[in-house]
């Protein structure tokens, strides 16, 4: 198993210690909103695999399985009927982070990074596990880089968030990479974690979460430098994974670093994501959730227990919760 220095991981997540990360984000105005609020109380799908710490999750409907990454082991696993097994390994993998199952392209995209900022890459495999490409992204620009999440547009182009550098990368279906958007305003605060979850809206733009600013942004594909902050009517609590359920409904995992405000938030828009209204919250208090996917029209959120990793502990159980 590849070891990760807890102190360095704390730096990655913008923490000087686990306790100081759980800020009090309580907002009295939120209680006055007319929205649905539920608490997840089902046991979910429990994955028993020592110190796996999966950060990424997606569902492959063709083979009826969840695919999950591993921060500590750098491989990609699959969960079928509740049973975990390793799906693909690669000697270049250090920490696998984000996953995206591209069903139309019949492939899986996997981000690979090193916590110290020396490596950011994207790998692609077909759904049977055959290697397609592996592209390093960090050589495109000097400095520290961390490839986090990935999505795909209708042409098969992939887009990757860089949590250290305020960069979005674009890769064509053959794996050739370029910087799609770079803006100092999107770079994280010193020692913090910036651009995170990403998804594609087929109307021609990307939706991206910025964890350190607790904001969502909209990036037009035809003019990425015309990006804008989405005006949401409720606070976010360290937005992580995003899932566009339909063009007007976005699921956002607010992980709150495993604090009491951890939740899955559903936002709706009437103006193509200029503004968004909170319509539902699924509360997952004191669970370090990271990302979300859909299986048979139901959302499933990953409980990665990164707070345990941050605290130097160990666990052999991770959970995929049905968040509805």
Asked whether residue 256 is domain-assigned, the answer is: yes
Q: For residue 231, give both structure tokens.
A: 């005006």
Asked whether residue 22 is domain-assigned, the answer is: no
Task: Give which of 149, 54, 167 is closest to 109, Cα–Cα.
Answer: 149
Q: Which position has the token pair 């608490």?
A: 39
Q: For residue 58, give both structure tokens.
A: 């997606």
Show Cβ contacts of residue 105 under 8 Å, excluding neighbours closer than 6 positions. 152, 156, 173
Asked whether residue 24 is domain-assigned, the answer is: no
**Average confidence (pLDDT) over 155-182:** 98
Asked whether residue 294 is domain-assigned, the answer is: yes
Confidence of residue 1 (pLDDT cuts 50, 70, 90): very low
Asked whether residue 302 is domain-assigned, the answer is: yes
Residue 132's CATH number: 2.120.10.30
Tell me what pLDDT residue 9 has: 53
Q: Do 113 and 94 meet the contact criterion of CB atoms below 8 Å apart?
A: yes
Provide the sign of the torsion angle of the four alpha carbons 272, 274, 279, 285, taken in this order: positive
Task: Give which of 206, 204, 201 is closest to 186, Cα–Cα.
Answer: 206
Q: What is the mean pLDDT of the chain?
A: 90
Look at the pTM and tell me if it is higher than 0.85.
Answer: yes
Asked whether residue 299 is domain-assigned, the answer is: yes
CA distance 67 to 193: 24
Tens of pLDDT, residues 198-233: 999 999 999 999 999 999 999 999 999 999 999 999
Query: Collapsing DSSP states into helix, strand and coil, what is residue 232?
Result: strand
pLDDT of 23 higher than 50: no
Q: Do 174 and 134 meet the contact criterion of CB atoms below 8 Å apart?
A: no
Q: How many domains does the chain have?
A: 1
Asked whether residue 297 is domain-assigned, the answer is: yes
Phi, psi of 225 (to 5 degrees): -75, -5
Asked whether residue 300 is domain-assigned, the answer is: yes
> Domain limits at 125?
6-14+29-322
CA distance 257 to 274: 27
Q: Do 100 and 124 meet the contact criterion of CB atoms below 8 Å apart?
A: no
CA distance 199 to 109: 13
């Amino acid at each position: 198993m590849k070891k990760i220095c807890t102190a360095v991981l704390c730096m990655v997540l913008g923490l000087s210690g686990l306790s100081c990360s759980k800020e009090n984000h309580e907002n009295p105005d939120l209680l006055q909103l007319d929205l649905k609020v539920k608490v997840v109380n089902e046991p979910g799908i429990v994955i028993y695999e020592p110190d796996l710490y999966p950060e990424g999750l997606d569902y492959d409907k063709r083979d009826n399985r969840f695919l999950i990454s591993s921060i500590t082991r750098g491989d990609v696993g699959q969960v079928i009927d509740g049973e975990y097994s390793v799906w693909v390994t690669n000697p270049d993998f250090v920490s696998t982070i984000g996953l995206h199952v591209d069903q139309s392209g019949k492939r899986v995209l996997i981000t690979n990074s090193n916590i110290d900022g020396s490596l950011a890459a994207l790998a692609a495999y077909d759904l049977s596990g055959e290697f397609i490409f592996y592209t390093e992204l960090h050589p495109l620009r000097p400095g520290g880089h961390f490839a986090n999440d990935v999505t795909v547009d209708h042409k098969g182009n992939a887009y990757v968030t860089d949590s250290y550098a305020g960069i979005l990368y674009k890769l064509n279906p053959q794996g050739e990479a370029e910087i799609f958007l770079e803006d100092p305003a999107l770079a994280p605060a010193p020692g913090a974690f910036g651009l995170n979850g990403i998804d594609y809206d087929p109307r021609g733009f990307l939706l991206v979460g910025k964890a350190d600013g607790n904001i969502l942004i909209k990036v037009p594909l035809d003019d990425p430098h015309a990006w804008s902050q989405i005006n949401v009517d409720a606070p976010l609590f360290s937005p992580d994974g995003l899932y566009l359920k339909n063009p007007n409904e976005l699921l956002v995992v607010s992980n709150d670093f495993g604090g009491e405000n951890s939740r899955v938030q559903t936002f709706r828009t009437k103006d193509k994501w200029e503004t968004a209204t909170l319509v539902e919250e699924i509360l997952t208090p004191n669970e370090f959730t990271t990302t979300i996917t859909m299986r048979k029209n139901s959302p499933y959120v990953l409980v990665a227990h990164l707070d345990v990793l941050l605290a130097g502990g160990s666990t052999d159980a991770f959970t995929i919760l049905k968040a509805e």
